[in-house]
Amino acid sequence: MCSPEMSRSSDVDVRRTETRHEATHVKARRPGKGGACGHMALCHWALVAAMLCGPARTQRPPGIPGRTAENDVPLQTAAWLAEGRITAIHLPKERPRRLYFTLPKKTSAFSVTVVPCDVPVEWSLMVRTAEDEPPKQQRTYKKSMPEVWWGNSRKNIKVYSNVGNAVDTYRGPAYAPASIYVVKLQSREHSTKVSVYLQEGAGLPKVFPELPPDPQVRVVGVGMSSVTLRWPSSPSVPKVHQSNTSLQYCVLVNLKHNYRGLCAALEALRRDKKIEEVKRQGATLWPTPKAWKQQLGPHRKDVVFPAPVPDGPPELPCVCQGVENTCTVSELQPDTLYYLDVFLLDSSSGSSAAYTGTSARTHQEARPTGTALRDSKPRWVALAPHGGRLLSFRPRGWPPRALLTMQVCSPHQVRVTASGQTQVLAAEIVAEEPVQIWLQGSPSYLIYLENESPATVAEEAIVKIQASSAYHRQAPVLPPLRTVKSYSKLKTCNSVTVGWHGTEERNLYCVYHQQLDSQGGPTGLEQCLGPESRSDTERAVCKYFQDLNPQEAVSTATIGGLEPGTAYLFDVYMVRRFGIAIKYHSKIVRTKKDC
């Protein structure tokens, strides 16, 4: 019944409405079937319609004449734009808003400044003028001059239009004779906020702080957890710093991007529903003066403040620190890219100006040096109970990849943690079985070994570790089982046949044997020894072997020249070109006594 389309109708539509209105009154005077009851029903519906349409009529823009004696508009209820004061309005998506203003007769020039918040805003300025001065008899009614001029206006002039998310100002001469100026605003993306400022006369807008010719924020110092900023002083800041000045510099630090205005920064923080996530990422809005905090209204609880805002000068660094143009932002994370913005806030008027933001990456955290491992050279490391050892390795070639091979040579458990420059790459528990760790993504690596044996074990843990550059190949394959099997049916008085599992990769396998005087076996330390610790007389045979089917990759060897009824210790080593040799579990076999 009272749709917004009625408020956009033309003068012709209004005259038609008045004609229908008169016809309604004529019908109301005709007697119906119900006599007075029919008239009362019409009055009842007219009252309901008045109740429904009443609020919409109060919101009607001045472009729609009402049912008045002269078709004049009650402009007192329109959205007027006050001069010399910032007008903040809510702009719904795809719903234009209009602001109206008039200028005094002696005004020669004026300016209109539109400050979008976080999305581009379409805005235009239109003037509705009258070609002739209205007749004097129309002034007999108690109407304001703008209302009288509006009722006799017939000419619309589009003065200016612009689309963007930056602060935009129109400056120009006043139109004479001018009736009404109309500022139309519209947002296409989503609902937003916009501020409009009207100023009579020439010159820059007086309510906004003035930026210097070069409003660039510069980084003058960077540390692991701090960044020092400096920016040119604003011409609005007095030469002699006064304690009662309403101007304040405020700094915003975040991990996303720079903001073109203070409103956009605040709206971005308000839209973030997870405040704890904002704290974890390090987005920090430095507190503002008390007047600024009051402007945030009911949404100020969504803004993260490190500390309450004091009435006097704040103690925290860069907390809207007055008119000082140097600031050190601290408590930052190492090796992190931050975006830094500076806003000049006028707490007396609620206006602000944004400097051109910058970005800076904090320095990397100092890393411990650790014992360097030589490429492809095995190293023995002794770990005290519940002790640790830090090692480092820098691979050769590109890309910088490394292969770690480790084995614990004693009944202990050792935790190994390998990290690059910024993150942990691997963490595993190593015991008797050899373990390979493939590292990539960093030019250097830190390896930390920690003895995790129970408190009852008082002996040291012995770890054999080797690091090799692996830029030219993938990680090698270890045998699925490291057991050595003897075949009883193939055993004789002077020979023994043994077998072991190989891999699908071609490797050299060497079999060593030695005569035992008793049934004793090898110690834990001997399990980590390679073929370099054995004499040439103990080497029985060496052979290359591979099988593409891992389930059938079993190799055998027959060792002869043995004595009858004698126990021998057999060891098999898988010797690789890169990486430490892998020793199989020792096997004790006794030859037949009677053949």
pLDDT digit string, tens, across residues 441-464: 888 899 999 988 776 667 888 898
| Range 317-339 average pLDDT | 84
In angstroms, the CA 81 to CA 46 distance is: 34
Confidence of residue 130 (pLDDT cuts 50, 70, 90): low
Residue 319 has pLDDT above 60, yes or no: yes
**Residue-level pLDDT at 432:** 81
* DSSP one-letter code for 26: H
% pLDDT > 90, the chain: 24
448 vs 578, more confident: 448
Confidence of residue 471 (pLDDT cuts 50, 70, 90): low
Confidence of residue 321 (pLDDT cuts 50, 70, 90): confident
Question: Could you tell me the pTM of the whole model?
Answer: 0.47
Confidence of residue 278 (pLDDT cuts 50, 70, 90): very low
Confidence of residue 543 (pLDDT cuts 50, 70, 90): very high
From 34, 74, 36, 39, select the one nearest 54 (Cα to Cα). Answer: 74
| Range 425-433 average pLDDT | 87
Which of these ranges, 112-116, 158-162, 277-281, 524-528, has the smallest mean pLDDT? 277-281
Which of these ranges, 74-78, 124-128, 319-323, has the smallest mean pLDDT? 74-78
Residue 41 has pLDDT above 60, yes or no: no
493, two tokens: 């008085």
3-class SS shares of the chain: helix, strand, coil, % to 5: 20, 35, 45
Which of these ranges, 70-74, 383-387, 433-437, has the smallest mean pLDDT? 70-74
What is the third-level CATH fold of 78-200? Jelly Rolls (2.60.120)
484 vs 368, more confident: 484
Bridge partners, residue 525, by sequence = none
Residue 492 has pLDDT above 50, yes or no: yes
Report helix angle 36-58 to 11-29, nearest 10. Answer: 160
Which of these ranges, 63-77, 477-491, 541-555, has the smallest mean pLDDT? 63-77
200, two tokens: 């009579």
Based on the number of CB atoms within 10 Å of its own CB, is 375 exposed (0-12), middle (13-18) or buried (19 or more)?
middle
6-22 pLDDT tens trace: 333 334 343 333 434 43
Confidence of residue 205 (pLDDT cuts 50, 70, 90): confident
28 vs 211, more confident: 211
% pLDDT > 70, the chain: 70
Residue 110 has pLDDT above 90, yes or no: yes
| Range 165-193 average pLDDT | 87
Cβ count near 438 (within 10 Å): 15
Based on the number of CB atoms within 10 Å of its own CB, is 285 exposed (0-12), middle (13-18) or buried (19 or more)?
buried
Q: CA-CA-CA-CA torsion for 36, 38, 43, 49, nearest 10 degrees?
A: 170
In CATH, the number for domain 371-469 is: 2.60.120.1090
Which of these ranges, 142-146, 171-175, 203-207, 525-529, has the smallest mean pLDDT? 142-146
488, two tokens: 């009883």
Which of these ranges, 126-135, 237-246, 258-267, has the smallest mean pLDDT? 237-246
* Residue boundaries of the structural domains of the chain: 4-58, 78-200, 218-359, 371-469, 484-590
528 vs 332, more confident: 332
175-187 pLDDT tens trace: 876 778 999 999 9
Residue 300 has pLDDT above 80, yes or no: no
**Residue-level pLDDT at 557:** 92
Beta strand 109-116 with 192-200 is: antiparallel
In angstroms, the CA 30 to CA 18 distance is: 19
In CATH, the number for domain 484-590 is: 2.60.40.10
Cβ count near 249 (within 10 Å): 25
| Range 569-592 average pLDDT | 86
- The whole-chain average pLDDT of the chain stands at 75
The DSSP result for 244-262, as a single string, is T--EEEEEEEESS---SSH
* DSSP one-letter code for 136: G
**Residue-level pLDDT at 65:** 39
- Cβ proximity of 151 and 169 under 8 Å: no
Which of these ranges, 138-152, 281-295, 361-375, 449-463, has the smallest mean pLDDT? 281-295
**Domain 78-200 and domain 218-359 have a common topology:** no
**Residue-level pLDDT at 196:** 92
First vs last Cα of the chain: how many Å apart? 118
**Residue-level pLDDT at 1:** 37
In CATH, the number for domain 218-359 is: 2.60.40.10
